[in-house]
Amino acid sequence: MTSITKYPPISTWNKLLQRPTKSVEAIESVVDVVFAAVKSEGDMAISRYTKQFDKVYLEQFLVSNKEVDTAISFVSEELKQAIKQAKSNIETFHTAQKTNKVDVETQLGVRCWQEKRPIESVGLYIPGGTAPLFSTVLMLGVPATLAGCKEIILCTPPNSEGTIANEILYTAALCGIKTIIKVGGIQAIAGLTFGTKQIPKVSKIFGPGNQYVTVAKQLATKFGVAIDMPAGPSELLVMADATANPAFIASDLLSQAEHGIDSQVILVSTNERTLIETAKQLSIQTQLLDRQSIIEKALENKKLILVNSDQVAVDLINYYGPEHYILCTKNNAFFVDKVINAGSVFIGPYTPESAGDYASGTNHTLPTNGYAKAYSGVGLDSFLKNITFQEITKEGLITIGNTIELMAEAEGLMAHKNSVTIRLKSIDDES
């Protein structure tokens, strides 16, 4: 029996669209303990928690050149070419994001400009878990390199043999990343936050992860380390009408469901038949997939929602703020024009979400859990800082000086006023 939520009133949307995530409070206690241990014990704590969480004891975390060379030899030429093509597209799109210096004279003699500088040290977190996401190496490594970050540290969890997936090591080498650390989970984020003998401290941490990694990243900000965004379990919302292909829709929903049991997929439609037929396709296609047990668990969190108009659909979707948003309607332009909250949008029947995950060029590191209402996905600017500059001539200070003096005096900050007054007097004395 297909469970469809029909015409839900706005008052029920908050409960209907809840994510299947644990509360931060339920996770914070574990994260706090690991952070405190890493801060005080360094690499000893890293080794202990790697043994506990990843079932392998390691004293040395740095991947050697020999390990990288061996890994490269085990990656097929066919896959290498695919990764190179994806890298090329990602480079093309992210290179196009470069902007010119902003330089303007706000008034005569007052020049202001803005320039971008790379963040010097960044940490890239690459999930291992149930699937080693070497594609994320491209999504983070390419813009970090294009931005000119001097120190790029990649952390990823080892398997039970203490090794890293060949594809991750190959892709890291392709991106020019030299420092690869065999550490994952909370302990990796803590290591990047505090720095240890083997793990450098960084200024900003990037990358998706499970709920524990997400909370760990948020905790890192309390210790002066920036993060890209709170990117947790994956999610996808599809908007489809009577013209959509249910088999296509189901394949996209399943592509996100296979990420993990805490992933969420939602289908919104103005046509009940589309919902029913897609549900049938979900059952059929699930039986053909390798990660069936993960998918079935994730599909327990799915939502099939029937609405009575395109406008209601738009309002509900913006209320949810999906990480990934697919449009399969006869009126895609209407929906594109009204997107307010979404991480990345995929338009039309031949734009699968997996294209953005791998090779089209856009970045797949995106805000989840409703953070698309306030955060952008990772891009070139994520690895850069905007620094403003200004230069004022004598003539400029004469013109703007009295404005500054009046405003400073009104705020009761007389030293601010005096810094202008003393200069204006000097100029007056010269004349």
Beta bridge partners of residue 210, listed in sequence order? none
Of 94, 235, 277, 324, the active-site residue reads: 324
Enumerate the H helices of 243-324 as residue ranges: 246-257, 272-286, 292-299, 310-320
Q: How far is CA 114 from CA 88, 95, 103, 143, 234, in A?
A: 29, 19, 7, 20, 35
Which residue in the list 235, 258, 277, 323 is annotated as catalytic?
323
Q: In which element (H, E) is residue 239 found?
A: strand 235-240
Half-sphere exposure of 350 (CA within 13 A, CB side): 0
| Structural contact between residues 200 and 153, judged by C-beta atoms closer than 8 angstroms | yes
175 vs 154: CA distance, rounded Å: 11
Alpha-carbon span 89 to 94, nearest angstrom? 9
144: tokens are: 């970090």
Other CB atoms within 10 A of residue 192 CB: 31
- How many other CB atoms are found less than 10 A from the CB of residue 358? 19
Chain Cα centroid distance, residue 355: 17
The conformation of residue 43, written as its DSSP 8-state character, comes to H
What are the Cα distances from residue 331, in Å, to 321, 327, 345, 347?
Answer: 20, 9, 15, 11
Judge whether 416 counts as a catalytic residue.
no
Ranges assigned E (strand) in 41-101: none
Tokens encoding 89: 């597209």
Contact between residue 339 and residue 325 where contact means Cβ atoms under 8 Å apart: yes
- The answer to whether 409 is a known catalytic residue is no
Residues 185 and 49: beta-carbon distance below 8 Å? yes
Residues that are catalytic? 323-324
